[in-house]
């Protein structure tokens, strides 16, 4: 018996119940391997078990002869694989014999005989190289709950992408997140957040290619009052690559308390021999990283950039192959606040929104500001609006039109205060309706840009508009 045949009978000795789950064709077994297999099957059919001593007596062997070095324990899939490998080995041997025989005939006669048998052997061997599709009943699949780092947004044991244009505040957001979890703070939009309760603090690893740890990363973490002892950085990030995750595994082995790994930006660490726009290449690169996340229950967060396709769906605006958001179970986006609202500081507001969520419905949009001390402050109220609607072409055009009218009204009043009839006449010439003019006035008034003064009563009532600074 060769090693594969020994592995087969060894596995069946230890778990003869595999015979009920896998059909073992006797035609691929030979000699002593076939004898032992028949004895295993005989005992199992009789008593649903296997006894080494009685098998040795039946086969006239020493019991120790049945105890092969390096016992194999196989599950159903493993047994199918080893059976296929034994069959392939035997086919290769038959094919080699057939080719040698055909060669001798050609050398003697100068002509080849019918090669039908050789073709059949090649075909059988080729078919065995194809992967077998294995199915399971859903009723046999074990249900496993999702563990969250941030409820509804960042799952553990999986990969999450955070995408946005360069300079939008992705790295600010990451340092805030690492600071918050280092202290065990409940995160925005969670039930605990409104109650101000604490959760378990987590340790994290930041692999950053672009931000300096001395003058950028640490000040931002301190601004968010992080527990700096729970956040590690990679000292030589440019030596790290997804081509070789051995070093990352070693760090995780030495720091089992690490719960989060952030790679900022992801495309800086993809390694060589790689096409950024080919799905198979991306999946091969990210697959081992996702396996680490699943095996260790880590939340892996990769930072990505938006492309310039402003009129596309949000999920197609992530740079490179669609496999990037495809592999990630959650994809978050960060952008400036593009809504048309009355907040005078709206130009400093960022929106955090869900582009893709595979595990539940998409969470609501959140708004936050980056403060002067480098900390981040989230608004208490979430925004119940579909991100694709917020960032649609129609919404952008609506916002641009609203901003145009605001600028027009401010510019019109720069020459001095004006009474309402004169303003309405000029607005009508610009095809601005009365209702739109009033809405714009009210917004600018709330923002402290203009003020409205009224004179008189009834028919003599007049409305004077002017810039507040004049």
Q: Between 97 and 379, where is the model more confident?
A: 379
Long-range (24+ apart) CB contacts under 8 A made by 112-116 are: none
Q: What is the pLDDT of residue 148?
A: 93
Q: Which of the listed ranges 92-106, 109-123, 158-172 does the model predict with the highest average pLDDT?
A: 158-172
Phi and psi at residue 131, to the nearest 5°: -70, 140
Q: What is the pLDDT of residue 196?
A: 56
Across 144-168, average pLDDT: 93
Kindly report the pTM of this predicted structure. 0.61
Chain segment 71-89, per-residue pLDDT in tens: 556 777 777 778 888 888 8
Across 423-452, average pLDDT: 86
Q: What's the pLDDT band for 344 if we cut at 50, 70, 90? A: very low
Q: What is the pLDDT of residue 393?
A: 63
Across 17-39, average pLDDT: 83
Across 269-274, average pLDDT: 82
Q: What is the pLDDT of residue 193?
A: 55
Q: CA–CA separation, 427 vs 234, rounded Å? A: 59
- Lowest average pLDDT, out of 41-50, 217-226, 290-299, 312-321, goes to 312-321
- Lowest average pLDDT, out of 65-69, 82-86, 260-264, goes to 65-69
Across 20-37, average pLDDT: 82
Is pLDDT of 194 > 60?
no
Q: What is the pLDDT of residue 339?
A: 66
CA distances in angstroms from 42 to 8, 39, 54, 343, listed in the order given: 16, 5, 11, 82
Q: Between 375 and 22, where is the model more confident?
A: 375
Q: Which of the listed ranges 215-224, 247-256, 311-320, 344-353 does the model predict with the highest average pLDDT?
A: 215-224
Is pLDDT of 298 > 90?
yes
Chain segment 195-204, per-residue pLDDT in tens: 555 678 999 9
- Lowest average pLDDT, out of 2-16, 27-41, 405-419, 421-435, goes to 2-16
Across 16-36, average pLDDT: 82
Q: CA–CA separation, 67 vs 65, rounded Å? A: 6
Domains of the chain by start residue, with CATH: 3-128 (1.10.860), 148-388 (3.40.50.300), 393-467 (1.10.10.10)
Q: What is the pLDDT of residue 70?
A: 47
């Amino acid at each position: 018996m060769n090693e594969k045949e020994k592995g087969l009978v060894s596995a069946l000795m230890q778990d003869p119940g595999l015979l009920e789950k896998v059909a073992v064709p006797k035609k691929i077994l030979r000699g002593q391997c076939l004898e032992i297999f028949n004895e295993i099957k005989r005992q199992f059919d009789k008593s649903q078990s296997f006894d080494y001593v009685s098998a040795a007596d039946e086969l006239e062997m020493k019991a120790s002869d049945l105890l092969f070095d390096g016992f194999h324990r196989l599950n159903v899939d493993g047994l199918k694989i080893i059976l296929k490998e034994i069959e392939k080995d035997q086919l290769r041997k038959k094919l080699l014999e057939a080719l040698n025989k055909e060669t001798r005939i050609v050398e003697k006669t100068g002509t080849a005989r019918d090669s039908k048998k050789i073709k059949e052997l090649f075909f059988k061997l080729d078919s065995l190289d194809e992967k077998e599709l294995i199915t399971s009943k859903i009723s046999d699949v074990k249900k496993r709950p999702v563990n969250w780092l941030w409820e509804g947004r960042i799952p553990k044991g999986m990969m999450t992408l955070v995408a946005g244009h360069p300079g939008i505040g992705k790295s600010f957001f990451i340092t805030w997140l690492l600071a918050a979890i280092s202290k065990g703070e409940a995160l925005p939009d969670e039930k605990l957040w409104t109650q101000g309760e604490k959760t378990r603090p987590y340790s994290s690893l930041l692999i950053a290619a672009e931000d300096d740890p001395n003058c950028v990363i640490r000040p931002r973490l301190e601004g968010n009052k992080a527990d700096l002892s729970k956040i590690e950085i990679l000292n030589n990030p440019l030596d790290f690559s997804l081509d070789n995750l051995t070093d990352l595994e070693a760090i995780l082995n030495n720091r089992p308390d690490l719960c989060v790994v952030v790679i900022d930006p992801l495309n800086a660490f993809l390694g060589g021999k790689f096409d950024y726009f080919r799905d198979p290449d991306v999946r091969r690169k990210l697959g081992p990283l996702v396996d680490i996340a699943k095996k260790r229950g880590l939340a892996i967060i990769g930072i990505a950039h938006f492309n310039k396709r402003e009129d596309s769906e949000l999920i197609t605006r992530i740079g490179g192959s669609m496999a990037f958001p495809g592999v990630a179970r959650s994809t978050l986006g960060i952008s400036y606040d593009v809504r048309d609202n009355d907040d005078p500081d709206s130009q400093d507001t960022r929106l955090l929104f869900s582009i893709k969520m595979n595990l539940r419905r998409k969470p609501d949009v959140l708004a936050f500001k980056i403060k002067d001390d480098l900390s981040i402050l989230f608004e208490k109220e979430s925004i119940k609006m579909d991100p694709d609607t917020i960032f649609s072409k129609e919404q952008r055009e609506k916002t641009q039109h609203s901003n145009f009218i605001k600028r027009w009204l401010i510019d019109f009043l720069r020459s001095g205060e004006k009474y309402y009839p004169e303003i309405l006449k000029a607005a009508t010439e610009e095809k601005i309706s009365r209702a739109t003019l009033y809405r714009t006035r009210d917004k600018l008034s709330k923002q402290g840009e203009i003020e409205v003064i009224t004179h008189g009563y009834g028919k003599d009532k007049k409305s004077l508009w002017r810039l507040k600074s004049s």
